[in-house]
Structure 1
Amino acid sequence: MFKKLYLVVAVLIIASMALSACQQAATPAPQEPAAPKIKVCQVTDTGGIDDKSFNATAWKGVEDAMKELGVEGKYLESQQQTDYEKNINAFIEDGCDLIVTVGFLLGDATAAAAKANPDQKFAIVDFAYDPEIPNVLGLVFATDQAAFLAGYAAAGATKTGKVGTFGGIQIPPVTVFMDGFALGVKYYNEKHGTNVQVLGWDEVAQTGLFTGNFESTDDGRQLGQTLMDEGADIIMPVAGPVGLGTAAAVQERG
């Protein structure tokens, strides 16, 4: 009798355990809240987000991070230099994890914001601080080396013996391109006994042609026409979207 009772109790215990296990398996485990996305925010210079230059390539990096790393990305375009501080502060208030400013001209505004907000992380294209600012990563490149190759190639390809260059604003990230271009031409002349001339820039005197902006395609067209009138058959603008005006002038000349 007692053996039968024990057997029944044992069966009930086993059944209750099995039922409990089934209920636990059927109940989904609580989901942990998703980690918030990292927010990366870019402030352009006056060349705009589609400048075919540093603004555009910096934004391409943000877009790649959005696709591959799942970050959130956004940008603000600066229409004029007085927008730099305003746009940076807007992104600080927006809670951006990283603010990327693009261009040498944003150096002062970025430094001021970084010092006022030491917990905010920044990166800036085309500027390096000395002394360094702890919460700012300066992104600079050996662009003179690429421009050197362009100058060497231009000297080897010219039919008129004259090549040209001009800049947007006379600041180091612009003139370093022009220096490299001129030195590439000079090196070609030394190696091949030629006398190709560089119009628009003297790397020794640090004087040359500049539009004074990075926006006006009309200025680019005008300087392109001037350089062609002086005999240049290859032109390297260093002025962001301004160079599109030069390209149009070259196409018109055939």
Structure 2
Amino acid sequence: MKKYVGGLAAVSAIALTIAGCGSKPAEESSGSTANKDFNACMVSDSGGFDDKSFNQTSYKGLQDAVKDLGVTEKKAESKSDNDYPTNMNAMVAAKCNIIVPVGFKLADATEKAAKANSGIKFAIVDYNGFKAPIANVKPLVFNTAQSSFLAGYLAAGMSQSGKVGTFGGAQIPTVTIFMDGFAEGVAYYNKQKSKNVTVVGWDATTQKGLFTGDFESTSKGQQNAQNLITQGADIIFPVAGPAGIGGLQAAKASGGKVNAIWVDTDGCVSAADYCSVLLTSVFKGMDVAVEDAIKAAVENKFSNEEYVGTLANNGTGLSPYHDWDSKIPAELKSEIDQLKKDLIDGKVTVASKAQP
């Protein structure tokens, strides 16, 4: 398992017209023609393929499969939640061999399409909550509570105000798992260092906190971040997809008083304009998991066995410190390295119930 290194390559697309809502599915193949008759397909959630977050990272996995395996790409970008059934049906009609739905919100559309089309393989990103396993559906999930634990410890160690903050896009497990891990990492730092760094925006015990209500509105993200900053937070952790960019805008506008940690992908690659305020990012290796699922389908080795990305298999972790590499004390870096080992070995555990 290799670690995600980020970036979204530019692609050209040939539109395939479909009826109904949502975007037009697009098709592309690489210079290789080894598996040109194999259609590898993807449906985004409403954040779109350029969300600088999990849709973008998952889409990179599809692009990598086109490049490495010579499969033909087809995709449908959702503009709203109402587009999911239409876009899923479009991919079925496009004779896809495997469909990769991106995100928790596509679960219902995935289940219906998979049960009605047993000959098509599905690999859904960020969802494993089906009542029973479905023979042709492979969940691709990530224990980001572990990596967010490291991020929380880092934030606590770097905070000058003694307050750090987080907000989410929606109160769903794939969001709160980050917030839980972050809060637990801060608590662990306090315990180890006899400190009292406070988390605003999320209470892991009561499971109550601050949310934008969607993943699209950068203005709401900026408002939520400003709320945290007003409460004294000098490091913020947005878990809100594109809406989280508003949080980075608020941090950058502070003139160095507030910094941030990004999620899903290396923010210094996907949102490079904000690299100067990013201590690090909590990545999920969705690109690798997606390409691996497509490869397995091409080679007739596909199974519905759940994939879980962890610190141990590099399916999740912290991205490089980039601009902050010389600013983060060597002692704190060493502590985080040791903490990662302790989490992998089970010497330190994360309590979040949102963990897969």
User: Shorter-chain TM-score: what band?
Assistant: 0.7 to 0.9
Question: 1:96 corresponds to which residue?
Answer: 96
2:241 is paired with a residue whose SS is: coil
Bigger mean CA offset, 67-76 vs 142-151: 67-76
Worse overlay, 196-205 or 37-46: 37-46
Contact 2:41 2:75 in 1 (8 A): yes
| Counterpart in the other structure of 1:109 | 109
Give the aligned partner of residue 164 of structure 2. 163
Distance in 2, matches of 1:35 and 1:203, equals 47
Give the number of equivalent residue pairs: 222
3-state SS in 2 of match to 1:37: strand
Distance change >3 Å, CA 253–CA 35, structure 1 → 2: closer
Match of 1:230 in 2: 231
Please name the residue that 1:122 is paired with.
Answer: 122
Whether 1:144 aligns to 2:145 is: yes
Structure 2 counterpart of 1:174? 175
- Letter of the structure 2 residue corresponding to residue 60 of structure 1: K
Residues 172-212 of structure 1 deviation map (CA, whole Å, 9 limit, x = unaligned): 00001000000000000000000000000000000000011
CA distance in 1: counterparts of 2:108 and 2:99, whole angstroms: 15
Q: How far has the Cα of 1:120 moved from its partner?
A: 1.4
Contact residue 42 and residue 100 of structure 1 kept, 8 A: yes
State the Cα deviation string for residues 209-251 of structure 1 (Å, max 9, x = none): 0011010000011011111111000000001111111111111
Q: Which stretches of structure 1, 4 residues or longer, exceed 4 Å deviation after superposition?
A: none
**Structure 2 residue ranges without an equivalent (≥5):** 1-33, 256-356
Aligned equivalent of 1:208:
209
Cα deviation, 1:152-191, whole Å, max 9, x if unaligned, reads: 0000000000000000010000001000000000000000
Question: Could you tell me how far apart the structure 2 residues matched to 1:127 and 1:63 are?
Answer: 21
Alignment-derived partner of residue 292 in structure 2: none
AA in 2 matched with 1:61: G
Paired position in structure 1 for 2:136: 135
Q: Which residue of 2 aligns with 1:48?
A: 48
Structure 1 residue 35, shift from structure 2 partner: 6.1
1:191 is the counterpart of 2:192: yes
- Aligned 8 A contact 1:165 1:237 in 2: yes
Question: Whose relative contact order is higher, 1 or 2, with alpha carbons under 8 Å and at least 6 apart?
Answer: 2
Distance 1:43 1:224 in 2: 30
Q: What's the secondary structure of 1:95's corresponding residue?
A: coil
Between the aligned residues of both structures, percent identity stands at: 56
1:5 is matched with: none
Matched to 1:48, the amino acid is G
Q: TM-score, normalized by length of structure 1?
A: 0.85
TM-score, structure 2 as length reference: 0.61
Aligned 1:241-252 pairs, distance under 5 A: 241-252=242-253
Which residues of 2 match residues 6-25 of structure 1 at below 5 A? none
The change in CA–CA distance for 1:91 and 1:226 in structure 2 (over 3 A counts) is same
Gaps spanning 5+ residues in structure 1: where?
A: 1-33
Q: Is the 8 A contact 1:37 1:70 kept in 2?
A: no
Paired residue for 2:74?
74
Q: Residues 36 and 72 of structure 2 are in contact (CA less than 8 Å); yes or no, is this contact kept in structure 1?
A: no
User: What is the Cα-based RMSD across aligned positions, in Å?
Assistant: 1.3
Deviations 1:27-86 (Å, cap 9, x if unpaired)?
xxxxxxx86431111100111101122111111011111111111112211111110010
Structure with larger Rg? 1
DSSP 3-state at the match of 2:37: coil
- Aligned mates of 1:108, 1:156 — CA distance in 2: 41
In structure 1, the residue corresponding to 2:195 is in which secondary structure?
coil
Offset at 1:110? 0.5
